Amino acid sequence: MNVLIDGSGAIGIGLGCSMIDSGYNVSFYASENTGNAMKKNGIKRTGIFKHLSYRPEEFKVYTNYSEIPDDEFDYVFIASKTLANDDISRKLNENRRILKDEFKIIIFQNGFGNDEPYLRFFPREKVFCARVITGFSRPERNISEVTVHTEPILLGSLQGVDPKPLEIIAEAITSGGIPCEVSERLSEYLWAKMLYNCALNPLGAILGVNYGRLSENEYSKSIMNSVIAEIFDVIDAAGYKTLWNSAKEYEEVFYSKLIPDTYNHYSSTYQDISMKNKTEIDTLNGKVIARGDKYNIDVKVNRMLYNMIKSIESNY
């Protein structure tokens, strides 16, 4: 089985190490600088799960689609930032020759609706998503560190497709040290993650604090509670489902378990802003705003946080 991991950051390298450990042939699509570091020094995964290290000859690295042979890949893992989805989906479509007939795309990203750019070109039976609530960081270009973990990675479809064919991938990721399962309820779990990320990511980035600190301040808690309430209004109006019946029910789990489990974590939005990179705010609070506008739901607190992050980005 051959796997292409498009996006060789912390998540991509972390997943790639699992797949190599499970006996898959893994190739990475990377920027030139990252690709050169991987080709020179190999890759490593450190942190709270199984530590893995691979020499350059134990995987392949591509920096241009023209380098890739025809009929090469059974699976494509999308592990890039969501900002790249339009470009990646177009290039995969233009280079379909690299994909085997029974290929599948699995999108390992923050946010909701990340399958939409790929569904422009590929049928729904080919496009799957993942819920990742494990925290990764990249201390060096070729190293992934697993920093926190709350629940298994979940693989499934947002389009009603049976996720059973992904069981072998879930088993491989699990065997490689990161718990992973398939789920027929992926949409519910992704909205659960949206609740978590939309409340924590932008506010933690704006205030420059970790998740735990946000939960200890009455003012930041009030903001997060408003974000959560607005998202529940959107979920109800749009006909989605999640794992809790109300905002109050979610808040109990949020403050008693989810934040304590990831107390010391700094959000990916914080990390992006620290490095003056564009954030994924458009697929987080931005998606809430879009659906709020569609269903005439007032999401003013989500909009305020979104506008603040966009203001920070515009001043880089």
Inter-helix orientation angle 186-207/300-314, to 10°: 60
Mean pLDDT over 288-313 rounds to 97
User: At residue 163, does pLDDT exceed 90?
Assistant: yes
User: At residue 284, does pLDDT exceed 90?
Assistant: yes
* Tokens matching residue 285: 């609070």
Closest CA to 76 of 159, 19, 158: 19
pLDDT at 148 (0 to 100):
82
pLDDT at 185 (0 to 100):
95
User: At residue 291, does pLDDT exceed 90?
Assistant: yes
For residues 149 and 158, what is the distance between their CA atoms, to the nearest angstrom? Answer: 23
Inter-helix orientation angle 218-238/300-314, to 10°: 110
Mean pLDDT over 298-309 rounds to 98
Q: What SS3 state is found at 274?
A: helix
pLDDT at 261 (0 to 100):
85
Q: Are 31 and 6 in contact (CB under 8 A)?
A: no
Which position has the token pair 């379909």? 96
pLDDT tens for each residue of 14-43: 999 999 999 999 999 999 999 999 999 999
Domain locations in the chain as residue ranges? 2-184, 188-314
At the topology level, CATH places domain 188-314 in: N-(1-d-carboxylethyl)-l-norvaline Dehydrogenase; domain 2 (1.10.1040)
Pairing of strands 127-131, 153-156: antiparallel
pLDDT at 23 (0 to 100):
98
Instruction: State the pLDDT confidence band at 150, using cuts at 50, 70 and 90.
Output: confident
User: At residue 135, does pLDDT exceed 90?
Assistant: no
Mean pLDDT over 199-218 rounds to 96
- Model pTM? 0.91
User: At residue 206, does pLDDT exceed 90?
Assistant: yes
pLDDT at 279 (0 to 100):
95
Other residues' Cβ atoms within 10 Å of the Cβ of residue 1: 15
Mean pLDDT of the chain: 96
For residues 77 and 283, what is the distance between their CA atoms, to the nearest angstrom? Answer: 18
For residues 59 and 52, what is the distance between their CA atoms, to the nearest angstrom? Answer: 13
For residues 76 and 125, what is the distance between their CA atoms, to the nearest angstrom? Answer: 14
pLDDT at 268 (0 to 100):
87
Which position has the token pair 């006996």? 23
pLDDT tens for each residue of 38-62: 999 999 999 999 999 999 999 999 9
Percentage above 70 pLDDT, the chain: 100
Instruction: State the pLDDT confidence band at 265, using cuts at 50, 70 and 90.
Output: confident
Q: E strands along the chain, which residues?
A: 2-6, 25-29, 43-47, 52-54, 60-62, 73-78, 99-108, 127-131, 135-140, 143-148, 153-156, 180-182
Q: Are 121 and 112 in contact (CB under 8 A)?
A: no
For residues 106 and 19, what is the distance between their CA atoms, to the nearest angstrom? Answer: 14
**What CATH number does the domain located at 2-184 have?**
3.40.50.720
Mean pLDDT over 199-208 rounds to 97
Catalytic annotation, residues? 193
Rg (CA), the chain: 19
Instruction: State the pLDDT confidence band at 89, using cuts at 50, 70 and 90.
Output: very high
* Tokens matching residue 9: 């950051």
